A and B are shown apart, each in its own frame.
Chain A
Amino acid sequence: MKIWPERCIYPTYHELMEEQTLSTVFETFGAQTTVVLIVALIGLIPVILYRQKTPRWFVLAYGFLFVAAFATNFENVLLPTALNLTEHFVGNLGAGVAFAVAAYTYRRQHIDTEGTGGEA
C-alpha cells in the first residue's frame, strides 16, 4: 500500500541526505579546490594510459601536480601543517623543477642529438 502519491512535492529522505552530504563536502574542501581534485583525478587516466610512451620526467611532473592538488584539498581535513608543507615543498616546487628538467632532458636526448644522428 502506497503512502506517498506518484509525484511528491516534498524531497525524500535519500534526497535530503544527498544534499546534506554535498554541502558538507563543499564546506570542508571548498567548491573550487574540489573541482581541482576532480580534474586531477580525471587527468590521471591519460597519464596512466600513455605512461609507456611518455618520457619519465613528464609523468613525474604530473605526479607532483597531483600531489599539490591532493594536499590542497585535504589540508583542511587532516594534518594541516604537514599537508601544507607537502603542497608547497613537494607538489609546487617539484612540479616547477620537473617541468624545467623534463623540457631540458627531452631536448638533450631527442632534439640536440638529431643533428648528430642520435635520433636514429
Chain B
Amino acid sequence: MVGDQIIPFVDATATLGFVAAAGIGVRNYQDTELERTFWASFVLVSVTGALWMGLVTVEWLGISGELMDTLSTSLQAIVLGVFSVGSIGTMAVVADLKESQAETERRRAEAEQARTEAERSKEEAETAREEAETAREEAETLNDHIETKATSFSAVMDQAAEGDFTQRMDPESHNAAMTEIAESFNGMMDEIEATVARIRSFADRVADSSREVTTGAEESQRASEQVSDSIQTISADAEAQSEQLREVAAEMQSLSGTVEEVASSADEVATMSRQAAETGRDGQDAATEAMDEMTAIETKSQETIDEIESLADEIDEIGEIVDVINDIAEQTNMLALNASIEAVRAGEAGDGFGVVADEIKQLAGEVADATDDVETLITEIQTSTDTAVADIREMGDRVASGTETIDVALDSLDEIASKVEESNRSIQEISAATDDQATSTESVAGMIDDVAEKADQVNTESENVSAAAEEQTSSLTQVAQNTRTLSDQADELQHRLSQFDIDETATAGAATTASRTATADGGAKERTTNRDSSGGGR
C-alpha cells in the first residue's frame, strides 16, 4: 500500500518538526526571562518527541523489538504528560505572571503620575500664596490711599448734595478706580450742571408752550365740535347713499337677468344662423348638381336631334328605294302584260306562260300596293320626325334657358351662402359679446353689492367717528384743563430750579443747544443732546 510506504517519511518529517521546535525553543529560552521555565519544559518535550519519532521511524526501517516498542510508548507517554501538565501549566502560570506584572506596572505608572500631579499642585499653591501675600500688601497701601481720597470725595459730594453743582473732585490718584470715580463724578456733575441749565430753559419754554397749548386745545375743542357735527351729516348722507346703492343693486340684478335672457336668445339665433348657413351650402351643392344634370340633358338632346335627323335622312333613302321598287313593280306589270300578250299570241302553248304572267302581274300589283303603304308610312314617319326634332329643339332651348336660370340661381345661392355665413359670424360675435355683457353685468351687480356693503360700513364707521369726535371733544376739554395745570407746575419748576447754583458761563453753550433743539422738535431730542454733552464731559 502506498500509504504504508510513505509513513516512514511522514514520521521522519515529524521528527524534523520536533527537532526544529527544540531549536526554536532553545533560542526562545535564551531570549526570554519569565517564560524560561516554560521553554525549558518545551525543549525537553520537543527533544523527547524527536526521540519518540526517531524510534518510530527506525522501526519502519526494520530495527524493532519489544525494547523499542517499550521505549517508544514510554517516550510518547512522557511527551503527553510533560507537555500537558508541565508546558501548558507553566504557560498558564506565565500568563498569570505577565498579567500581574502588567497590572503592577500600570499601577506604578498611575502612582508616578499622581505624585507628579501632586508636586505640580504644591508648586502652584506656593506660587498662589506668594502672589496673595504681595496682593495683600498692595491692598493695604491702596486701602489707606483710598480712605484719604474717599474723605475728599465725601466732602465734595456733600457740597454737591446741598445744590452747589460747581464742585469737582481731584482725579489724581494711585488707584485707577478712584480716578475713574472722580472723572465719572466730574462728568456727571458737568452733565447735571448742563442739564439743570437746560431744564431751566426748558421750564421757561414749557411755561410758554403750556399757555400756547391751552389756547390751542380750546381751539381744537371747538374744531372737534365742528368735526362731530360734520361727521353726523356725513353719516346721514352715507345712509342715504347706502339705500340708493341697494336700489341700484336690485336694478342691476334685474338687468343681469334680462341680459342673460338676451344672451340665451342670441345663442338660439346663432344656432339657427349656423343651420341656415349649412342649408345654404347644401342648396348650393344641389344647384351645382342640377347644373351638371342640365348640361348633360342639353348634350343628350343635341345627340338625340342628330340621331333623329340621321333617321330622317335614312327614311328619305328608304323612300327613294321604295320609289325604285315601285318603278320595278310598274315595269314588272308591264312585262307581265307583254308576257300575257305574247302568251295569247303563242296560243295553246302559251297558256302556262300566260298563267305565270298573270301571277307576276298580280304580284307586281301587290308590290305596288305595299310600296304605297310604305310611302304612306314614310311620310307619316317624316312628319313625326320633323315634329320630334322640333320638339327636341324646343326642349334644348328650354334646357339652355333652364341652365341659365340655374346658373343665375347658383350665383344667388352663393351670394346667399356667403351672406348667411357672414351673418352667422356676426351673430356668433353678438352671442359672445352678449355672454361677456352678462358676465360683466353680474360682476357689476356683485361690485354694487360690495359698494353697498362698504357704504353700510362707512355709515357705521361714520357713526363711530362721530362718537369718537364727541369723546375727543370731551378729551380736549380735559386737555385744556390739564394744560392750565401744567402751566402752573412749570412756574413751580422754574421757582425750584432757581435754587441750584451753576456756572452760567460754562453751561450757556449747552443751554443754547438745548434751546435750539427744543424749539426745533418740541423737546423730543432733549435726551439725545444730554447724552452727547455727557460723553463730551468725560
Contacts and interface: CB of A to CB of B under 8 A. Distances in A.
Contacts of B348: none
A107 B80 contact: no
Contacts of A84: 4, 7
Contacts of A54: 88, 91-92, 95
Contact of B81 (A43, A59, A97): A43
Contact of A35 (B25, B73, B79): B73
A111 B11 contact: no
A12 B393 CA distance: 166
Interface in A92-119: 92-93, 95-100, 102-104, 106-107, 111
A99 B49 contact: yes
A40 B83 CA distance: 10
A107 B35 CA distance: 11
Contacts of B1: 81
Contacts of A53: 91-92, 95-96
A89 interface: yes
Interface string B40-64: 0010011001000100100000000
B269 interface: no
B85 interface: yes
B527 to A, nearest CB: 74
Interface stretch (B12-20, B162-170, B185-193, B494-502): B12-20
A77 to B, nearest CB: 17
A32 B96 contact: no
B32 to A, nearest CB: 6
By CB atoms of chain A within 10 A, which of B28, B70, B84 has the most?
B84
B103 to A, nearest CB: 14
Nearest to B31: A111
B76 A68 contact: yes
A58 B17 contact: no
B3 interface: yes
B522 interface: no
Contact of B89 (A36, A42, A46, A61): A46
Contacts of A99: 17-18, 20-21, 45-46, 49
B81 A39 contact: yes
A84 B7 CA distance: 9
A65 B83 contact: yes
A95 B49 contact: yes
Given A95-B14, A100-B17, A103-B24, A46 B80 contact: no
Nearest to B30: A111
Nearest to A102: B21
B69 interface: yes
A56 B185 CA distance: 87
Interface string B181-216: 000000000000000000000000000000000000
B87 interface: yes
Given A107-B24, A107-B27, A96 B15 contact: yes
A92 B69 contact: no
B15 A55 contact: no
A44 B28 CA distance: 25
A59 B89 CA distance: 12
A17 interface: no
A89 B10 contact: yes
Given A40-B80, A103-B25, A93 B10 contact: yes
B321 interface: no
Contacts of B31: 107, 111
Contacts of B85: 43, 46
Contacts of A85: 3, 7
Contacts of A49: 92
Given A93-B14, A103-B24, A50 B73 contact: no
Contact of B17 (A50, A59, A81, A97): A97
B299 interface: no
Given A32-B73, A44-B84, A88-B10, A96 B89 contact: no
Nearest to A98: B17
A97 B84 contact: no
B77 interface: yes
B76 A69 contact: yes
Contacts of A81: 1, 3
Interface in A59-94: 59, 61-62, 65-66, 68-69, 72, 81, 84-85, 88-89, 92-93
A103 B77 contact: no
B379 interface: no
B11 A103 contact: no
B74 interface: yes
A41 B229 CA distance: 125
A96 B79 CA distance: 12
A89 B14 CA distance: 9
Which residue, of A49, A97, A100, has the highest number of chain B Cβ atoms within 10 A?
A: A100
B88 A58 contact: yes
Interface in B366-380: none
Given A36-B77, A53-B96, 18 more contacts: A35-B73, A46-B89, A50-B92, A61-B83, A62-B84, A72-B76, A84-B4, A85-B3, A88-B11, A92-B10, A93-B13, A95-B18, A96-B13, A96-B14, A96-B17, A97-B14, A99-B46, A103-B28
24 contacts: A33-B73, A35-B73, A42-B81, A47-B84, A49-B92, A50-B95, A65-B80, A65-B83, A66-B80, A85-B7, A88-B7, A89-B3, A92-B10, A92-B14, A93-B11, A93-B13, A97-B13, A97-B14, A99-B17, A99-B21, A103-B20, A103-B24, A103-B46, A107-B24
Closest 5 CB pairs of A and B: A96-B17, A43-B84, A96-B14, A99-B21, A50-B92
Interface of B: 1, 3-4, 7, 10-11, 13-18, 20-21, 24-25, 27-28, 31-32, 42, 45-46, 49, 53, 56, 69-70, 73-74, 76-77, 79-81, 83-85, 87-89, 91-92, 95-96
